[in-house]
Amino acid sequence: MSIMETIIIDGFDFTNMDAQNYYSFTSAFKGNKAEKARELCLSEKYLGSRKMDGAWNMLIKDMDGKFHLRSRKESVNGGFTDKAEWIPQICENLAAVPNGTVFIGEIYFPNNEGSRKITSVLNCLKDKCLDRQKKGEYLHYYIFDVVAWNGKSMIETGFADRISYLTQPSLQNLEYVDLAQYVRGQALLDLWSSVISAGGEGIVITREDCHYLCGKRTAWMTLKMKKELAEPIDCFVDGDYKPANRLYDGNSMETWPYWENYKTGEKFDTCQIEAYRNGVPVEPVKKPYFFGWASSISLSVMRDGKPFHVAWLSNITDEFKRDIIKAPEKYINKVVQVNAMQIEHIDGNYSIRHGRIETWRDDKNPEDCQYSQFTD
């Protein structure tokens, strides 16, 4: 795998540009979310489109006409891995766009297998990635922003003007490239409702005058609008858990304190980045793995008199991750109220997606947590 060299277009370094972060409307706002959503949508100041369940990637066509693909995160060795050769069908589709063009979008599978499956394919070696696409389904690219066009940087250009380039003839009717369809006003409110009703991820809305906010999460400029359950679901901790994943792949490699020698199993609680770069067989590992904790815990409800699994929860405290293994009696059969982005209905069974604990219900027991909460 090759590390991308610095690519400058119109004086701006796109290779090392920080991705814009989205303000999360549903988790941050404490008022009436439905009323606020209606207010934002009907203000006519926002443009929005559906959110794809894919993997964020920037696709660059440099001034010499060569394509480059990078993700949000740097590789463990530093720098961004260039994976344009992993998606040749997408690059071929975009061959007619002018040099000096940069797109922001999501790599995805049309059958909606989700971001985790996509990431696992993109993280393969090139030949294996291409082989998996050939034997299964080819990756597509969903473009939702244009931050450079024909050698001109548009980082400081308003959002409405940037996305106007999505109407360019060279982007139309492509087999492996899809374009975000933006609406505003009542149509935006209707879109949010229809996407959620169809079980979609939600929508993303952006103020029409918003510049591309590199590395920032500015309130009320660009927002994710997802769904939360109207009423929390009562579940109980059934004692099952998932062990922690091993490798850490976040953005804090330079200071990350949890490392392991993958040959001897010896662990280090100080940063080993220099040793890693010098060839010592050490790797950064996730905190729960380092301490032997769980990564997520299982929640159930009662169905036909028996526990029935409905959710995996990962956004829990370190104490919870530790004690579900070391002192499970503290939590097993305890009842929690859970809120989530959505309820999934797959193969006739309901489950909770992206759940989070609202509160502990010491006044309830497992028999109070009935599956009928999903069906009534």
Q: Residue 230's pLDDT is what?
A: 46
- Taking only the tens place, the pLDDT of each residue in 299-351 is 999 999 999 999 999 888 999 999 999 999 999 999 999 876 567 778 889 88
Q: Residue 223's pLDDT is what?
A: 86
What are 206's two structure tokens? 């952006």
Q: Residue 274's pLDDT is what?
A: 94
Helix (H, G, I), strand (E, B) or coil at 353: strand
Q: Please state, as a whole number, how many other Cβ atoms lie within 10 Å of the Cβ of residue 276.
A: 17
Q: Please state, as a whole number, how many other Cβ atoms lie within 10 Å of the Cβ of residue 105.
A: 24
Helix (H, G, I), strand (E, B) or coil at 92: helix
Give strand ranges (E) for 184-319: 203-207, 222-225, 233-243, 259-261, 267-268, 282-284, 294-303, 306-313
Q: Residue 199's pLDDT is what?
A: 62
Whole-angstrom distance, CA of residue 113 vs CA of residue 32? 32
Q: Is 54 or 151 the better-scoring residue by pLDDT?
A: 151
**Helix or strand (DSSP H, E) at 127:** helix 126-135
CB-neighbour burial class of residue 254 (10 A; exposed 0-12, middle 13-18, buried 19+): exposed
CB-neighbour burial class of residue 75 (10 A; exposed 0-12, middle 13-18, buried 19+): middle
Residue 348: left (phi > 0), alpha (psi -120 to 50), or beta?
Answer: left
Q: What residues contact residue 298 under an 8 Å CB cut-off, 6+ apart?
A: 237, 238, 239, 240, 241, 242, 309, 311, 312, 313
Q: In this prediction, what percent of the chain has a pLDDT beyond 70?
A: 92
Mean pLDDT, to the nearest integer, of 2-12? 91
Domains of the chain by start residue, with CATH: 2-225 (3.30.470.30), 233-245+286-375 (2.40.50.140)
- Taking only the tens place, the pLDDT of each residue in 262-297 is 999 999 999 999 999 999 999 999 999 999 999 999
**Cβ-contact 357, 313 below 8 angstroms:** yes
β-strand 282-284 against 335-339: which pairing, if any? unpaired
What are 108's two structure tokens? 């995805």
Mean pLDDT, to the nearest integer, of 195-200? 67
Mean pLDDT, to the nearest integer, of 162-187? 96
Q: Is 174 or 200 the better-scoring residue by pLDDT?
A: 174
Taking 70 as the threshold, does the pLDDT of residue 26 lie above it?
no
